Structure 1
Amino acid sequence: MELRGSGLAESVATAESAPAFPSAVYEADLVVTAVSGGKAVLDVDRLRPGTVVVDDSSRTVSTPHAPSPGCAGSAMC
């Protein structure tokens, strides 16, 4: 895998979120999610300090990737 070859990762694991995120997710340094229509919610209070979260979830079917209210123009929402 490209990440391993460049020294950016020791291991890569995948996990499914139904019905909730497995506890291994909360031990990760990087969490990438892409959930649409799921009921699982990532409990940010359980993440390790410094964990990077990339969320590519669709917020609704009619307006995918819509920013949350108050987040217009911000790359961090």
Structure 2
Amino acid sequence: MRRRGIRHTIPEKSDRQATRLRKGSRGGRPPGFDEERYKKRNTVERAINKLKQSRAVSTRYDKRGYVFLGTATAAAVVIWLRT
């Protein structure tokens, strides 16, 4: 991921961190962690999960892309009105 320039958004697990530290210099450097990016990722994932609660969005019965976009938009409006 580093070679491709993809940044980390998930924190390193404690057991993986302990293994890396135990290896010493062979363990490599720790991955970067940006807390603000992680918060934004969590917000996006929660929004997608709310959209998936709508059966029409989660199963995608619509054959055409523009019809599915309308279905997803309608589900988003319903979520927005309920909050």
Is this a same-fold pair by TM over 0.5? Answer: no
TM-score, normalised relative to structure 1 = 0.21
From the two aligned structures, give the one with the greater helix fraction: 2
TM-score, normalised relative to structure 2 = 0.20
